[in-house]
């Protein structure tokens, strides 16, 4: 453990306050019973791609709670969707002498300078949600291709032999999550030759951008039969536009299990979503980070699991949380 954490918590906060960068500090609490070395709690640097989506807000909260429970300290930086800022954030976290880095990359290729800097400094990297092609000792995520396939199969069944136009509102250009959610969906609906997919613009998983995209797409494709968005936040944006235009028969589907979407399923227009609880994902990511810090062997790819939510089981998942959680 580095001598950096011999500073008191107030001193650490003072350092953070004086810094020009946006890294925030979340103390993890006591180290008693956490299995950490005696000279201080493990310091985790978490570089997050963005906080614009509810999913990423909850991912941070899950990681923070897990770090606190383990007696660690989590230092958080929000890249705001800017890969240059993310590389700078990672460098700042390295300078603060964190033990392990948790990274959700804005761009898997563009973040490579930050990953390389961590390697040069001897700081291991674990990625979460979005993988990088190289440089991470482990990735914690979910099978996004399976998510897309689950939703695609269900939507294809709902459309039936008549098929129709399906507008696809995509996530981020070049991102592995968007690529896999698209590939899984395309493969699943390919069995229905009457379905024609209209690839919409990349809307970065943000509802407001999906609203704008759907308004434009509806003008060009008024005969649309269904919408598939790479997350529920964008799907709900599309649903809003459809309702405003009296398109109550156009089916909608998404991914992530956002509770707002789950509660829409009973109405019939929102067909399905796939489980992707960010709290449990953040928890598993921190558990993996702690294993890496202790020198334990971890698998290079760790799947947090998923499942379909549709009319058959939506009532079982409806609750007060922001996202549906897997059954325990």
Q: In which element (H, E) is residue 281 found?
A: helix 278-293
Q: What confidence tier does 24 reach under pLDDT thresholds 50, 70, 90?
A: low
Kindly list the distances between the CA atom of residue 68 and the CA atoms of 72, 84, 95, 283, in Å, as whole numbers in the listed order: 6, 29, 22, 11
Per-residue pLDDT at 255 exceeds 50: yes
pTM of the prediction? Answer: 0.80
Sign of CA dihedral 48, 54, 59, 64: positive
Mean pLDDT for the stretch of residues 227-231: 98
Domains of the chain (ranges; CATH) run 3-140+278-297 (3.40.50.2300), 144-275+309-317 (3.40.50.2300)
d(C-alpha 242, C-alpha 210), whole Å: 12
Per residue in 51-97, pLDDT (tens digit) is 988 899 999 999 999 999 999 999 999 999 999 999 999 999 999 99
pLDDT surpassing 80 at residue 39:
no
C-alpha–C-alpha distance, residues 103 and 141, integer Å: 12
- Calpha distance 161→313 (Å, rounded): 24
Residue 149's contacts (CB-CB under 8 Å, 6 or more residues apart) are 184, 185, 187, 188
Q: Report pLDDT digits (tens) over 126-170.
A: 999 999 999 999 999 999 999 999 999 999 999 999 999 999 999
Tell me the per-residue pLDDT of 174-203, one tens digit each, with 9 for 90 and over.
Answer: 888 999 999 999 999 999 999 999 999 999
Rounded Cα gap, residues 290 and 224, in angstroms: 48
Identify the helix (H) or strand (E) that includes residue 88: helix 83-95
Residue 272: phi and psi, rounded to 5, are -165, 160
Picking from 186, 246, 236, the residue whose alpha carbon sits closest to that of residue 214 is: 236
| Confidence band of 40 (pLDDT split at 50, 70, 90) | confident
CA dist 254 and 232 (Å) reads 5
Q: Indicate the pLDDT class of residue 29, thresholds 50, 70 and 90.
A: very low
pLDDT at 22 over 90: no
């Amino acid at each position: 453990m580095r001598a950096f954490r011999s500073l008191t918590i107030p001193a650490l906060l003072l350092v953070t306050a004086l810094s020009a960068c946006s890294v925030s500090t979340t103390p993890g609490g006591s180290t008693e019973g956490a299995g950490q070395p005696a000279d201080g709690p493990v310091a985790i640097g978490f570089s997050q791609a963005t906080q614009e989506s509810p999913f990423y807000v909850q991912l941070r909260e899950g990681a923070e709670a897990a770090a606190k429970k383990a007696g660690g300290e989590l230092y958080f930086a929000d890249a705001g969707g800017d890969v240059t800022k993310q590389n700078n954030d990672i460098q700042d976290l390295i300078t603060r002498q964190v033990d392990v880095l948790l990274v959700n990359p804005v761009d898997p290729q563009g973040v490579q300078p930050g990953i390389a800097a961590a390697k040069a400094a001897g700081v291991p990297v674990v990625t979460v949600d979005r993988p990088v092609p190289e440089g991470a000792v482990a990735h914690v995520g979910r099978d996004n291709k399976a998510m897309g396939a689950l939703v695609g199969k269900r939507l294809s069944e709902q459309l039936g032999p008549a098929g129709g136009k399906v507008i696809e509102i995509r996530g981020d250009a070049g991102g592995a999550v968007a690529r896999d959610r698209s590939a899984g969906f395309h493969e699943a609906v390919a069995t229905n030759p009457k379905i024609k997919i209209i690839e919409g613009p990349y809307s970065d998983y943000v509802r407001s951008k999906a609203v704008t995209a759907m308004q434009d797409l509806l003008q060009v494709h008024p005969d649309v039969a269904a919408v598939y968005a790479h997350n529920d936040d964008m799907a709900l944006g599309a649903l809003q536009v459809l309702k405003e235009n009296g398109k109550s028969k156009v089916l909608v589907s998404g991914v992530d299990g956002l509770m707002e979407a789950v509660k829409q399923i009973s109405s019939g227009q929102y067909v399905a979503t796939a489980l992707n609880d960010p709290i449990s994902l953040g928890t598993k990511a921190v558990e993996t980070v702690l294993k890496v810090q202790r020198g334990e062997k971890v698998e290079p790819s760790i799947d947090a699991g998923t499942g379909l939510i549709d009319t058959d089981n939506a009532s079982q998942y409806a609750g007060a949380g922001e996202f549906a959680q897997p059954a325990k």
